[in-house]
Chain A
Amino acid sequence: MLEKILSDEIYHILQNKINLKCITEIRFRANKPIILIIGSQRTYLSNNGTTANIKEAIYASKIMIEDIIFRASECSIYSVNEQIKKGFIVTPGGIRLGLGGDLVEENGIVKTMTNFNSVNIRIPHEIKNCSLAAFDYIFENNKVYNTLVLSPPGAGKTTFLRDFICQLSERNYAYNILILDERGEIDIGKEGCVGNYSDKISFAKKSIGFENGIRALSPNIIVTDELGQAEDIDAVNYAINCGVTVLASVHCDNIESFLKKPNFELLIKNKLFQRYVLLSLRNGPGTLEGIYNENFTRVKN
Protein backbone atom coordinates (compact mmCIF):
# COMPACT_ATOMS: atom_id res chain seq x y z
CA MET A 1 0.00 0.00 0.00
CA LEU A 2 2.87 2.37 0.79
CA GLU A 3 3.89 2.38 -2.87
CA LYS A 4 0.46 3.72 -3.78
CA ILE A 5 0.66 6.57 -1.26
CA LEU A 6 4.19 7.85 -1.62
CA SER A 7 5.86 9.40 -4.62
CA ASP A 8 7.96 7.00 -6.69
CA GLU A 9 11.13 8.84 -5.67
CA ILE A 10 10.54 8.49 -1.91
CA TYR A 11 9.25 4.94 -2.17
CA HIS A 12 12.28 3.92 -4.23
CA ILE A 13 14.63 5.15 -1.48
CA LEU A 14 12.63 3.43 1.26
CA GLN A 15 12.46 0.18 -0.63
CA ASN A 16 16.03 0.00 -1.86
CA LYS A 17 18.08 1.74 0.77
CA ILE A 18 16.23 1.13 4.03
CA ASN A 19 14.59 -1.98 5.42
CA LEU A 20 10.91 -1.07 5.10
CA LYS A 21 9.94 -3.63 7.74
CA CYS A 22 11.83 -1.68 10.40
CA ILE A 23 10.12 1.66 9.78
CA THR A 24 7.28 2.41 12.17
CA GLU A 25 6.59 6.03 11.23
CA ILE A 26 7.35 8.51 8.49
CA ARG A 27 6.74 12.17 9.26
CA PHE A 28 6.28 14.78 6.57
CA ARG A 29 6.10 18.43 7.59
CA ALA A 30 5.86 21.19 5.00
CA ASN A 31 9.29 22.68 4.25
CA LYS A 32 10.95 20.53 6.89
CA PRO A 33 13.06 17.39 6.62
CA ILE A 34 11.29 14.04 6.30
CA ILE A 35 11.78 12.07 9.51
CA LEU A 36 11.80 8.30 9.80
CA ILE A 37 11.16 6.50 13.05
CA ILE A 38 12.90 3.17 13.08
CA GLY A 39 12.25 1.30 16.31
CA SER A 40 12.52 4.13 18.79
CA GLN A 41 15.24 5.98 16.84
CA ARG A 42 14.62 9.12 14.78
CA THR A 43 16.55 9.83 11.64
CA TYR A 44 16.28 11.96 8.49
CA LEU A 45 15.50 10.53 5.09
CA SER A 46 18.18 11.24 2.50
CA ASN A 47 18.82 10.20 -1.09
CA ASN A 48 21.20 7.56 0.26
CA GLY A 49 18.75 6.17 2.81
CA THR A 50 19.02 7.63 6.29
CA THR A 51 21.20 10.40 7.63
CA ALA A 52 21.82 12.23 10.86
CA ASN A 53 23.01 15.28 8.92
CA ILE A 54 20.13 17.69 8.33
CA LYS A 55 21.89 19.16 5.28
CA GLU A 56 21.58 15.83 3.47
CA ALA A 57 17.93 15.37 4.41
CA ILE A 58 15.12 15.39 1.86
CA TYR A 59 12.62 18.12 2.61
CA ALA A 60 8.86 17.63 2.38
CA SER A 61 6.78 20.13 0.45
CA LYS A 62 3.14 21.09 0.80
CA ILE A 63 2.38 19.60 -2.61
CA MET A 64 4.04 16.35 -1.54
CA ILE A 65 1.86 16.21 1.58
CA GLU A 66 -1.33 16.97 -0.34
CA ASP A 67 -0.48 14.30 -2.87
CA ILE A 68 0.11 11.71 -0.14
CA ILE A 69 -3.28 12.49 1.40
CA PHE A 70 -4.99 12.41 -2.02
CA ARG A 71 -3.42 9.03 -2.81
CA ALA A 72 -4.18 7.63 0.66
CA SER A 73 -7.85 8.44 0.13
CA GLU A 74 -7.68 6.38 -3.09
CA CYS A 75 -7.92 9.68 -4.97
CA SER A 76 -11.30 10.38 -3.34
CA ILE A 77 -10.99 12.81 -0.43
CA TYR A 78 -14.80 13.07 -0.21
CA SER A 79 -15.00 9.36 0.68
CA VAL A 80 -12.82 9.73 3.80
CA ASN A 81 -14.02 13.13 4.97
CA GLU A 82 -15.50 11.69 8.18
CA GLN A 83 -12.03 10.40 9.07
CA ILE A 84 -10.35 13.64 7.98
CA LYS A 85 -12.63 15.54 10.36
CA LYS A 86 -11.17 13.43 13.18
CA GLY A 87 -7.66 14.13 11.93
CA PHE A 88 -6.64 10.89 10.32
CA ILE A 89 -7.07 8.57 7.33
CA VAL A 90 -6.69 4.81 7.44
CA THR A 91 -5.82 3.03 4.20
CA PRO A 92 -7.15 -0.44 3.32
CA GLY A 93 -3.82 -1.94 4.45
CA GLY A 94 -4.23 -0.46 7.95
CA ILE A 95 -1.67 2.32 7.43
CA ARG A 96 -2.79 5.29 9.50
CA LEU A 97 -2.08 8.84 8.41
CA GLY A 98 -2.33 11.49 11.11
CA LEU A 99 -3.07 14.86 9.53
CA GLY A 100 -2.20 18.42 10.39
CA GLY A 101 -3.87 21.37 8.71
CA ASP A 102 -6.63 23.94 9.09
CA LEU A 103 -9.92 22.69 10.50
CA VAL A 104 -12.97 24.21 8.84
CA GLU A 105 -15.76 24.75 11.35
CA GLU A 106 -19.31 25.93 10.81
CA ASN A 107 -21.61 26.62 13.74
CA GLY A 108 -19.22 24.77 16.02
CA ILE A 109 -19.22 21.63 13.85
CA VAL A 110 -16.06 20.49 12.13
CA LYS A 111 -16.78 20.26 8.39
CA THR A 112 -13.42 19.25 7.03
CA MET A 113 -9.69 19.91 7.16
CA THR A 114 -7.88 21.84 4.47
CA ASN A 115 -4.50 23.40 3.86
CA PHE A 116 -2.70 20.26 5.00
CA ASN A 117 0.79 20.98 6.33
CA SER A 118 1.87 17.74 7.95
CA VAL A 119 1.22 14.06 7.75
CA ASN A 120 2.42 11.29 10.00
CA ILE A 121 2.34 7.86 8.37
CA ARG A 122 2.17 5.04 10.90
CA ILE A 123 2.99 1.69 9.40
CA PRO A 124 1.40 -1.26 11.17
CA HIS A 125 3.48 -4.34 11.79
CA GLU A 126 2.41 -7.81 12.60
CA ILE A 127 4.83 -8.98 15.27
CA LYS A 128 4.21 -12.63 15.67
CA ASN A 129 4.01 -13.90 19.26
CA CYS A 130 4.46 -10.45 20.81
CA SER A 131 1.63 -11.23 23.24
CA LEU A 132 2.94 -14.68 24.10
CA ALA A 133 4.71 -13.67 27.31
CA ALA A 134 1.41 -12.33 28.65
CA PHE A 135 -0.88 -14.94 27.16
CA ASP A 136 -1.03 -17.31 30.15
CA TYR A 137 -1.79 -14.43 32.50
CA ILE A 138 -4.72 -13.20 30.41
CA PHE A 139 -6.07 -16.62 29.50
CA GLU A 140 -6.55 -19.06 32.37
CA ASN A 141 -8.79 -22.12 32.74
CA ASN A 142 -10.42 -21.54 29.36
CA LYS A 143 -11.33 -18.03 30.39
CA VAL A 144 -10.13 -14.75 28.97
CA TYR A 145 -9.88 -12.01 31.59
CA ASN A 146 -11.15 -8.52 30.90
CA THR A 147 -7.85 -6.92 30.03
CA LEU A 148 -6.63 -3.39 29.51
CA VAL A 149 -3.36 -2.81 27.67
CA LEU A 150 -1.59 0.36 28.86
CA SER A 151 1.22 2.08 27.00
CA PRO A 152 2.41 5.39 25.60
CA PRO A 153 1.66 6.06 21.90
CA GLY A 154 3.60 3.87 19.48
CA ALA A 155 4.55 1.24 22.07
CA GLY A 156 2.60 -1.60 20.51
CA LYS A 157 -0.85 -1.71 22.13
CA THR A 158 -2.67 -2.44 18.89
CA THR A 159 -0.06 -4.95 17.74
CA PHE A 160 -0.41 -6.72 21.10
CA LEU A 161 -4.21 -6.92 20.82
CA ARG A 162 -3.98 -8.13 17.20
CA ASP A 163 -1.53 -10.86 18.12
CA PHE A 164 -3.59 -11.97 21.13
CA ILE A 165 -6.63 -12.50 18.89
CA CYS A 166 -4.44 -14.46 16.52
CA GLN A 167 -3.03 -16.60 19.37
CA LEU A 168 -6.56 -17.56 20.48
CA SER A 169 -7.48 -18.52 16.95
CA GLU A 170 -4.27 -20.52 16.41
CA ARG A 171 -4.99 -22.50 19.56
CA ASN A 172 -8.46 -23.15 18.16
CA TYR A 173 -10.36 -21.43 20.94
CA ALA A 174 -13.43 -20.68 18.92
CA TYR A 175 -14.63 -17.61 20.78
CA ASN A 176 -16.72 -15.23 18.76
CA ILE A 177 -14.55 -12.16 18.74
CA LEU A 178 -15.88 -8.77 17.77
CA ILE A 179 -13.26 -6.25 16.71
CA LEU A 180 -14.51 -2.72 17.23
CA ASP A 181 -12.04 -0.95 15.03
CA GLU A 182 -12.88 2.72 15.49
CA ARG A 183 -9.78 3.82 13.56
CA GLY A 184 -9.40 0.82 11.27
CA GLU A 185 -6.01 -0.10 12.75
CA ILE A 186 -6.54 -3.47 14.42
CA ASP A 187 -7.31 -5.45 11.29
CA ILE A 188 -4.55 -4.61 8.83
CA GLY A 189 -6.17 -6.69 6.13
CA LYS A 190 -3.45 -9.33 6.10
CA GLU A 191 -4.79 -12.86 5.87
CA GLY A 192 -5.09 -14.51 9.27
CA CYS A 193 -3.86 -11.48 11.21
CA VAL A 194 -7.01 -11.38 13.34
CA GLY A 195 -7.75 -15.10 13.32
CA ASN A 196 -10.64 -17.04 11.92
CA TYR A 197 -13.30 -16.32 14.53
CA SER A 198 -13.53 -12.58 14.40
CA ASP A 199 -16.17 -10.16 13.14
CA LYS A 200 -15.40 -6.52 12.60
CA ILE A 201 -17.22 -3.22 12.94
CA SER A 202 -15.09 -0.37 11.64
CA PHE A 203 -15.16 3.42 12.07
CA ALA A 204 -18.12 3.33 14.48
CA LYS A 205 -18.15 5.19 17.78
CA LYS A 206 -17.61 2.77 20.66
CA SER A 207 -20.97 3.61 22.24
CA ILE A 208 -22.76 2.56 19.04
CA GLY A 209 -20.41 -0.28 18.15
CA PHE A 210 -20.68 -2.03 21.53
CA GLU A 211 -24.46 -1.92 21.62
CA ASN A 212 -25.07 -2.88 18.00
CA GLY A 213 -22.30 -5.47 18.02
CA ILE A 214 -23.57 -7.25 21.12
CA ARG A 215 -27.12 -7.35 19.74
CA ALA A 216 -26.27 -8.34 16.20
CA LEU A 217 -23.19 -10.53 16.47
CA SER A 218 -23.42 -11.97 20.03
CA PRO A 219 -19.68 -11.94 20.67
CA ASN A 220 -17.90 -13.68 23.55
CA ILE A 221 -15.05 -11.20 23.42
CA ILE A 222 -14.91 -7.60 22.24
CA VAL A 223 -11.55 -6.15 21.29
CA THR A 224 -11.21 -2.40 20.93
CA ASP A 225 -8.52 0.24 20.86
CA GLU A 226 -7.87 3.43 22.78
CA LEU A 227 -10.50 4.00 25.45
CA GLY A 228 -10.65 7.58 26.64
CA GLN A 229 -14.05 9.23 26.69
CA ALA A 230 -16.59 8.73 29.45
CA GLU A 231 -18.98 7.20 26.94
CA ASP A 232 -16.31 4.59 26.06
CA ILE A 233 -16.17 3.53 29.71
CA ASP A 234 -19.98 3.34 29.81
CA ALA A 235 -19.89 1.12 26.72
CA VAL A 236 -17.29 -1.17 28.33
CA ASN A 237 -19.37 -1.32 31.51
CA TYR A 238 -22.45 -2.23 29.46
CA ALA A 239 -20.57 -5.01 27.62
CA ILE A 240 -19.10 -6.54 30.79
CA ASN A 241 -22.51 -6.44 32.44
CA CYS A 242 -23.84 -8.32 29.40
CA GLY A 243 -21.31 -11.09 30.08
CA VAL A 244 -18.97 -10.14 27.26
CA THR A 245 -15.22 -10.12 27.89
CA VAL A 246 -13.48 -6.90 26.87
CA LEU A 247 -9.91 -6.48 25.71
CA ALA A 248 -9.01 -2.84 25.22
CA SER A 249 -6.15 -0.40 25.31
CA VAL A 250 -5.49 3.01 26.71
CA HIS A 251 -2.74 5.61 26.41
CA CYS A 252 -0.61 6.10 29.52
CA ASP A 253 2.98 5.85 30.70
CA ASN A 254 2.63 3.82 33.88
CA ILE A 255 0.15 2.53 36.44
CA GLU A 256 0.36 5.70 38.54
CA SER A 257 -0.62 7.94 35.64
CA PHE A 258 -3.39 5.52 34.69
CA LEU A 259 -4.87 5.73 38.20
CA LYS A 260 -5.02 9.51 37.81
CA LYS A 261 -6.71 9.45 34.41
CA PRO A 262 -10.11 11.15 34.32
CA ASN A 263 -13.16 9.04 33.40
CA PHE A 264 -11.57 5.80 34.60
CA GLU A 265 -12.47 6.05 38.31
CA LEU A 266 -15.60 3.91 38.05
CA LEU A 267 -13.84 1.31 35.96
CA ILE A 268 -11.04 1.03 38.57
CA LYS A 269 -13.37 1.14 41.56
CA ASN A 270 -15.68 -1.55 40.18
CA LYS A 271 -12.70 -3.68 39.14
CA LEU A 272 -14.10 -4.13 35.65
CA PHE A 273 -10.72 -5.26 34.34
CA GLN A 274 -8.93 -8.18 35.97
CA ARG A 275 -5.68 -7.72 34.08
CA TYR A 276 -3.61 -4.68 33.15
CA VAL A 277 -0.75 -5.21 30.73
CA LEU A 278 1.83 -2.41 30.78
CA LEU A 279 3.98 -1.91 27.68
CA SER A 280 6.71 0.63 27.08
CA LEU A 281 9.31 1.76 24.55
CA ARG A 282 12.24 1.07 26.93
CA ASN A 283 13.77 -1.72 24.83
CA GLY A 284 11.86 -0.80 21.68
CA PRO A 285 8.12 -0.90 21.06
CA GLY A 286 6.27 -3.69 22.85
CA THR A 287 8.56 -3.98 25.89
CA LEU A 288 6.48 -5.80 28.53
CA GLU A 289 6.90 -3.88 31.78
CA GLY A 290 4.52 -5.96 33.85
CA ILE A 291 1.09 -7.50 34.24
CA TYR A 292 -1.15 -6.42 37.07
CA ASN A 293 -4.37 -7.78 38.54
CA GLU A 294 -7.52 -5.83 39.43
CA ASN A 295 -5.87 -4.63 42.68
CA PHE A 296 -2.85 -3.42 40.72
CA THR A 297 -0.64 -6.07 42.27
CA ARG A 298 1.98 -7.43 39.90
CA VAL A 299 1.24 -10.94 38.68
CA LYS A 300 4.22 -10.90 36.33
CA ASN A 301 7.38 -8.81 36.50
Chain B
Amino acid sequence: MKYFLLIIIAVICTFIGYLFSKKYKTRDNFYQALLYLCQKFDIEINYSRDRLKNIFLNLDEKNKKDLKGIDKNFISFLDKENALDKTSLFNSINFLKDDEKDLIFTFFKSLGRSDVDSQSKEIKNFQTRFESISAQVKSENKKYGSLSIKLGIVAGLLIVVLFI
Protein backbone atom coordinates (compact mmCIF):
# COMPACT_ATOMS: atom_id res chain seq x y z
CA MET B 1 0.00 0.00 0.00
CA LYS B 2 2.85 2.38 0.94
CA TYR B 3 4.63 1.77 -2.38
CA PHE B 4 1.40 2.23 -4.29
CA LEU B 5 0.81 5.65 -2.62
CA LEU B 6 4.38 6.69 -3.34
CA ILE B 7 3.94 5.82 -7.00
CA ILE B 8 0.71 7.89 -7.07
CA ILE B 9 2.54 10.86 -5.47
CA ALA B 10 5.36 10.58 -8.03
CA VAL B 11 2.83 10.53 -10.88
CA ILE B 12 0.98 13.55 -9.45
CA CYS B 13 4.25 15.54 -9.15
CA THR B 14 5.14 14.69 -12.75
CA PHE B 15 1.65 15.68 -13.86
CA ILE B 16 1.92 19.04 -12.06
CA GLY B 17 5.23 19.60 -13.85
CA TYR B 18 3.54 18.70 -17.13
CA LEU B 19 0.70 21.17 -16.44
CA PHE B 20 3.23 23.96 -15.89
CA SER B 21 5.03 23.06 -19.10
CA LYS B 22 1.71 22.88 -20.98
CA LYS B 23 0.93 26.44 -19.96
CA TYR B 24 4.16 27.61 -21.64
CA LYS B 25 3.41 25.50 -24.72
CA THR B 26 -0.18 26.82 -24.92
CA ARG B 27 1.05 30.40 -24.68
CA ASP B 28 3.61 29.75 -27.43
CA ASN B 29 1.01 28.15 -29.72
CA PHE B 30 -1.48 30.93 -28.97
CA TYR B 31 0.93 33.67 -30.03
CA GLN B 32 1.92 31.72 -33.15
CA ALA B 33 -1.77 31.47 -34.08
CA LEU B 34 -2.26 35.17 -33.35
CA LEU B 35 0.65 36.05 -35.63
CA TYR B 36 -0.77 33.84 -38.35
CA LEU B 37 -4.12 35.60 -37.88
CA CYS B 38 -2.44 39.00 -38.34
CA GLN B 39 -0.77 37.85 -41.56
CA LYS B 40 -4.02 36.39 -42.86
CA PHE B 41 -5.91 39.58 -42.04
CA ASP B 42 -3.35 41.71 -43.78
CA ILE B 43 -3.54 39.61 -46.95
CA GLU B 44 -7.33 39.25 -46.98
CA ILE B 45 -7.95 42.91 -46.21
CA ASN B 46 -5.58 44.08 -48.94
CA TYR B 47 -6.63 41.66 -51.66
CA SER B 48 -9.96 39.90 -51.30
CA ARG B 49 -11.39 42.41 -48.79
CA ASP B 50 -13.29 39.53 -47.28
CA ARG B 51 -15.53 40.23 -44.29
CA LEU B 52 -14.11 39.68 -40.78
CA LYS B 53 -16.47 36.83 -40.02
CA ASN B 54 -15.45 34.90 -43.13
CA ILE B 55 -11.77 35.39 -42.32
CA PHE B 56 -12.34 33.86 -38.88
CA LEU B 57 -14.50 31.06 -40.21
CA ASN B 58 -11.91 30.19 -42.85
CA LEU B 59 -9.04 29.80 -40.39
CA ASP B 60 -7.57 26.31 -40.43
CA GLU B 61 -8.45 23.94 -37.63
CA LYS B 62 -5.02 24.01 -35.96
CA ASN B 63 -5.08 27.78 -35.61
CA LYS B 64 -8.68 27.75 -34.40
CA LYS B 65 -7.67 25.22 -31.74
CA ASP B 66 -4.61 27.25 -30.71
CA LEU B 67 -6.66 30.45 -30.39
CA LYS B 68 -8.47 28.76 -27.51
CA GLY B 69 -11.95 29.99 -28.35
CA ILE B 70 -11.05 33.67 -28.72
CA ASP B 71 -12.12 33.43 -32.38
CA LYS B 72 -15.53 32.01 -31.45
CA ASN B 73 -16.04 34.67 -28.82
CA PHE B 74 -15.24 37.36 -31.38
CA ILE B 75 -17.63 35.81 -33.92
CA SER B 76 -20.34 35.94 -31.24
CA PHE B 77 -19.73 39.68 -31.00
CA LEU B 78 -19.89 40.01 -34.80
CA ASP B 79 -23.20 38.15 -34.72
CA LYS B 80 -24.47 40.56 -32.07
CA GLU B 81 -24.80 37.75 -29.55
CA ASN B 82 -22.65 39.49 -26.96
CA ALA B 83 -20.84 42.77 -26.40
CA LEU B 84 -17.12 43.13 -27.00
CA ASP B 85 -15.53 43.23 -23.56
CA LYS B 86 -12.60 41.48 -21.95
CA THR B 87 -14.75 39.08 -19.97
CA SER B 88 -16.55 37.71 -23.02
CA LEU B 89 -13.49 37.78 -25.29
CA PHE B 90 -11.18 35.96 -22.85
CA ASN B 91 -13.85 33.66 -21.53
CA SER B 92 -12.07 30.45 -20.42
CA ILE B 93 -8.58 31.83 -21.17
CA ASN B 94 -6.38 31.91 -18.08
CA PHE B 95 -2.87 31.66 -19.47
CA LEU B 96 -2.52 35.32 -20.49
CA LYS B 97 -1.24 38.11 -18.29
CA ASP B 98 -3.40 41.19 -17.74
CA ASP B 99 -1.25 43.48 -19.89
CA GLU B 100 -1.29 40.88 -22.68
CA LYS B 101 -5.07 40.71 -22.44
CA ASP B 102 -5.23 44.51 -22.72
CA LEU B 103 -3.13 44.48 -25.88
CA ILE B 104 -5.06 41.63 -27.52
CA PHE B 105 -8.37 43.23 -26.58
CA THR B 106 -7.29 46.50 -28.20
CA PHE B 107 -6.28 44.55 -31.30
CA PHE B 108 -9.68 42.87 -31.61
CA LYS B 109 -11.45 46.14 -30.86
CA SER B 110 -9.66 47.81 -33.77
CA LEU B 111 -10.63 45.17 -36.33
CA GLY B 112 -12.99 46.25 -39.08
CA ARG B 113 -13.13 49.86 -37.92
CA SER B 114 -11.18 51.64 -40.65
CA ASP B 115 -10.30 51.73 -44.33
CA VAL B 116 -7.83 49.33 -45.92
CA ASP B 117 -4.68 51.44 -45.51
CA SER B 118 -5.30 52.34 -41.88
CA GLN B 119 -6.44 48.83 -41.00
CA SER B 120 -3.40 47.30 -42.64
CA LYS B 121 -1.02 49.66 -40.83
CA GLU B 122 -2.76 48.99 -37.55
CA ILE B 123 -2.49 45.23 -38.01
CA LYS B 124 1.21 45.53 -38.86
CA ASN B 125 1.75 47.56 -35.73
CA PHE B 126 0.04 44.95 -33.57
CA GLN B 127 1.90 42.19 -35.42
CA THR B 128 5.24 43.75 -34.44
CA ARG B 129 4.19 43.86 -30.79
CA PHE B 130 2.88 40.29 -30.89
CA GLU B 131 6.15 39.16 -32.50
CA SER B 132 8.16 40.59 -29.64
CA ILE B 133 5.92 38.89 -27.05
CA SER B 134 5.95 35.69 -29.08
CA ALA B 135 9.78 35.62 -29.11
CA GLN B 136 9.80 36.05 -25.34
CA VAL B 137 7.12 33.38 -24.88
CA LYS B 138 9.03 31.00 -27.13
CA SER B 139 12.22 31.38 -25.14
CA GLU B 140 10.26 30.92 -21.88
CA ASN B 141 8.76 27.76 -23.32
CA LYS B 142 12.21 26.44 -24.27
CA LYS B 143 13.69 27.38 -20.95
CA TYR B 144 10.95 26.54 -18.46
CA GLY B 145 8.73 24.15 -20.45
CA SER B 146 10.97 21.07 -20.30
CA LEU B 147 12.39 22.25 -16.95
CA SER B 148 8.93 22.06 -15.38
CA ILE B 149 8.46 18.41 -16.39
CA LYS B 150 11.96 17.55 -15.20
CA LEU B 151 11.37 19.31 -11.88
CA GLY B 152 8.08 17.47 -11.50
CA ILE B 153 9.78 14.10 -12.05
CA VAL B 154 12.67 14.99 -9.74
CA ALA B 155 10.28 16.19 -7.01
CA GLY B 156 8.25 13.00 -7.33
CA LEU B 157 11.37 10.80 -7.12
CA LEU B 158 12.67 12.80 -4.15
CA ILE B 159 9.47 12.23 -2.22
CA VAL B 160 9.60 8.50 -3.05
CA VAL B 161 13.25 8.25 -1.90
CA LEU B 162 12.52 10.21 1.29
CA PHE B 163 9.64 7.97 2.28
CA ILE B 164 11.40 4.70 1.42
Contact = CB atoms under 8 A, between A and B. Distances in A.
A79 B46 CA distance: 9
B6 to A, nearest CB: 57
Contact of B115 (A4, A70, A112): A112
Interface in B82-117: 111-117
A28 B53 CA distance: 27
A221 B113 CA distance: 40
Contacts of B114: 77-78, 112
Contacts of A4: 80
A10 to B, nearest CB: 13
Interface string A56-84: 00000000000000110111111101001
B113 to A, nearest CB: 6
B155 interface: no
Q: Max chain B CB contacts within 10 Å: which of A4, A71, A76?
A: A76
Contact of B45 (A73, A75, A78, A111): A78
B58 to A, nearest CB: 14
B119 interface: yes
30 contacts: A4-B80, A74-B78, A75-B51, A75-B53, A75-B78, A75-B111, A75-B112, A76-B49, A76-B50, A76-B51, A76-B52, A77-B112, A77-B113, A77-B114, A77-B115, A77-B119, A78-B49, A78-B112, A78-B115, A78-B119, A79-B49, A79-B50, A79-B51, A81-B115, A81-B116, A84-B115, A111-B115, A111-B117, A112-B114, A112-B118
A229 B114 CA distance: 30
Contacts of B112: 70, 73, 75-78
Interface of B: 45, 49-53, 78, 80, 111-119
Contacts of A74: 51-53, 78
A4 B81 CA distance: 11
A79 B53 CA distance: 12
Contacts of A73: 112
Nearest to B119: A78
Nearest to A7: B80
Q: How many A residues are at the interface, by size bracket?
A: 10 to 19
A84 B114 CA distance: 11
Nearest to A85: B115
B2 to A, nearest CB: 62
Interface of A: 4, 8, 70-71, 73-79, 81, 84, 111-112
Contacts of B119: 77-78
Contacts of B118: 112
A75 B45 CA distance: 13
Contacts of A8: 80
A112 B117 CA distance: 10
Nearest to B50: A79
Contacts of A71: 80
A9 B119 CA distance: 30
Q: Pick the 4 closest A-B CB pairs, nearest first.
A: A112-B115, A81-B115, A75-B112, A79-B49
A64 to B, nearest CB: 14
A70 B45 CA distance: 16
A112 B120 CA distance: 14
A70 B113 contact: yes
Contacts of A79: 49-51
A73 B114 CA distance: 11
Contacts of B117: 111
A81 B112 CA distance: 11
B8 to A, nearest CB: 51
Contacts of A112: 114-115, 118
A229 to B, nearest CB: 25
Contacts of B111: 75
A4 B119 CA distance: 23
A73 B52 CA distance: 10
Nearest to B48: A79
Contacts of B115: 77-78, 81, 84, 111-112
B27 to A, nearest CB: 28
A74 B112 CA distance: 9
A106 to B, nearest CB: 10
A78 B116 contact: yes
B128 to A, nearest CB: 20
